[in-house]
Structure 1
Amino acid sequence: MLTATTAGCSGKRQRTEFVPLSEFDERDLISDYNFLEEAAQLADSAQRSRQRLSSAQGPDIAAVRQLQHQARLRNMDWRAAPPGSEARQLNGSCYDAHKRRLMWRVTWRFDGADYSATDEKLDEQTKLADALAQHLKLAPGQAQRHALLKQYAEAGPQQLTMLLKQEGRPAGSSGEAYHRLMPNHTLRLALAQKTVIEHPVILLVLPSELPKYDILKPGEHRSGTV
């Protein structure tokens, strides 16, 4: 005997199947009522989930919009990394309304030494050379750091070349290109007319390492294929 189960059928009518009014009975009425209640519960659950997500992301969205707005006022293109990404979580850059200044997370990358240092809240009015000088100070008890940064410390901020990678290059562009930053410029001036994703990463390059970098001319924004 062929049962509803062996036939691949639950034995119940499809809840969305059309039923003529002449055949509509109390069982159909109860089924439709239950169906509508379940749909309402699902809609309510989805709404609550959206509200929780919006509430959780609210402060982050506000911070992102504020950074975008303040960067735009400074003639700079600031872009956020995807929500939840490590770059988005690490970036503590913010706008100090009291000082009316942007406070940037800045990573200093000593490329030839495979070493990085970070300023968590660097005032945009700080000169690059002054900020870098703090990281070139060799304190006692840091032998490994001394060895890594010896050449950079001996060269000093004025002899090192500061580079910022050009972001936003189109697909198909060959290699990476870099903006050259001036040590006597403030961070605000250095970032003007540049694109930054999350926070600035400034490369420190020794004179002997310079030939391997493709450096843009002042004011150049290369957009085509190199």
Structure 2
Amino acid sequence: MTETTDVPASSRISRLGNCEVCASQPARYACPKCEVKTCCLSCVQIHKRELECDGKRDRTKFMPISEMTEREFMSDYCFLEECTRYAEHRKKDPCKRYTQQQRQLPLPLHRLRNAATERGTRLQFMLDNFSRHKENTTYLNWKERCIYWQIEWLFVHMDSETPTRFVEKRCSEQQTLEQLLEKYLDIQQDLALTHRKVLQHHQTAGIGELSLWLRAEGVKRSGQRCYPLAAYKTLRSNLAGKTIVEYPTIYISYEQRPPAGLEPIDSDEEVEAASSDPQPTAAKRAKAETDDPAERAEPSEPSKPEKPTKQLPELKDIYSLADSFGVDSSSESSSSSGDEELLSDDENVDN
């Protein structure tokens, strides 16, 4: 009768070897993605945190055909089936149907964009699946002939990089920015009193000491630039000549400078459509290629333009020219000698 003794788990030899994290216990798990051997849950979490690994197998990783098994073939087949279902689902989704900005706009948005164009504002809309387009409530009141904008107010703080954000749904274009901001700055208003803690610096400074900045769109480096706004002007006047994507975003700062990371724009001369350099024509490119570099260099002394010389045509023998046309030169010579004799007789008669 043989006796069986229990072998401690620490002395067992694992086919995976020792744990690659703690190196003290035999490995029990292998990561499907990076193939790191671990022994317990804590080691698995440590390896994910240090290697930034999500533990999911890369289904598109290259594998030579010699190493592929039935499992890999089945995995590739399932992956292709998932891709097919995903593509079919996107075709049926109405939000993903349009992939270009040149789509036909609904009638309300078309009227809104035309009304903004009449006011000098370039209004652009995003695709239907963007959250900024979904939450936009800007509309045109057809009877009043007035645009009611949705405005995103960002109150900038010196001690914090994250501004305080407010979204106002109905802002008339006929109101000034001072009137629109009164509800946030006047402590007699309920909204200003409710957010007194976060807006106390702006309320103390007052509208006269605040600087307003519109986030730039449609210009070079638009993410780092902004337009200065005037608080005493109407919203319509401030947005004239600007490009707006869905709705305007306005920064409010109690310093007379743009928020951190932004720089002001003084004019609209850097609009991308106007600032793009025109492509040279084929004639200009050919002229640039054929020009002599010495001629393109600036002359040290101004030289007088040379008069064009008239080139005389090359003289040819009249008889050789006549031969080329098949005319007999002897007849030509006899006729010419006869003409000379007649001419001499006439001269004798005159004498």
TM band (smaller chain): 0.5 to 0.7
Q: Extract unaligned runs of 5+ from structure 2.
A: 1-92, 99-103, 277-351
Which of 124, 140, 163 is matched with 1:95 structurally? Answer: 140
Cα shift at 1:149: 0.5
Which of 111, 126, 137 is matched with 1:81 structurally? Answer: 126
Cα shift at 1:210: 3.9
1:18 maps to what in 2?
A: none
TM-score where L is the length of structure 2: 0.43
Cα shift at 1:174: 8.1
How many percent identity over aligned positions?
A: 20
1:176 maps to what in 2?
A: 224
Which of 229, 251, 255 is matched with 1:203 structurally? Answer: 251
Q: How does 1:1-226 map to 2 (within 5 A)?
A: 61-112=106-157, 114-138=163-187, 145-170=195-220, 173=221, 176-207=224-255, 210=258, 212=260, 213-217=262-266, 219-223=267-271
Cα shift at 1:141: 9.6
SS at 1:108 equivalent: strand
Cα shift at 1:209: 5.9
- CA 1:129/1:148 → structure 2, altered by over 3 Å: closer, same or farther? same
In the alignment, the residues of structure 2 paired with residue 182 and residue 137 of structure 1 have an alpha-carbon distance, to the nearest angstrom, of: 19
SS at 1:147 equivalent: coil
In the alignment, the residues of structure 1 paired with residue 182 and residue 190 of structure 2 have an alpha-carbon distance, to the nearest angstrom, of: 16
Whether contact under 8 Å (1:117, 1:135) holds in the other structure is no
Query: How many residues get paired?
Result: 169
Whether contact under 8 Å (2:251, 2:259) holds in the other structure is no
Q: Which amino acid aligns with 2:265?
A: L
Whether contact under 8 Å (1:133, 1:156) holds in the other structure is no
SS at 1:207 equivalent: coil
In the alignment, the residues of structure 2 paired with residue 71 and residue 194 of structure 1 have an alpha-carbon distance, to the nearest angstrom, of: 10
- CA 1:80/1:129 → structure 2, altered by over 3 Å: closer, same or farther? same
RMSD: 3.1
- Segment drifting more, 160-169 vs 173-182: 173-182
In the alignment, the residues of structure 1 paired with residue 232 and residue 195 of structure 2 have an alpha-carbon distance, to the nearest angstrom, of: 25
Q: Extract unaligned runs of 5+ from structure 1.
A: 1-48
In the alignment, the residues of structure 1 paired with residue 191 and residue 243 of structure 2 have an alpha-carbon distance, to the nearest angstrom, of: 38
Q: Which amino acid aligns with 1:78?
A: L
- CA 1:187/1:142 → structure 2, altered by over 3 Å: closer, same or farther? closer
Q: Deviations over 1:165-200 (max 9, x none)?
A: 110124xx4861111000001000000000000001
Cα shift at 1:145: 2.1
Cα shift at 1:143: 7.5
Stretches (4+) displaced over 6 A: 140-144
Whether contact under 8 Å (2:213, 2:226) holds in the other structure is yes
Q: Which has the higher contact order (CA 8 A, sep 6+)?
A: 1
- Larger Rg over CA atoms: 2
In the alignment, the residues of structure 2 paired with residue 141 and residue 67 of structure 1 have an alpha-carbon distance, to the nearest angstrom, of: 30
In the alignment, the residues of structure 2 paired with residue 95 and residue 211 of structure 1 have an alpha-carbon distance, to the nearest angstrom, of: 31
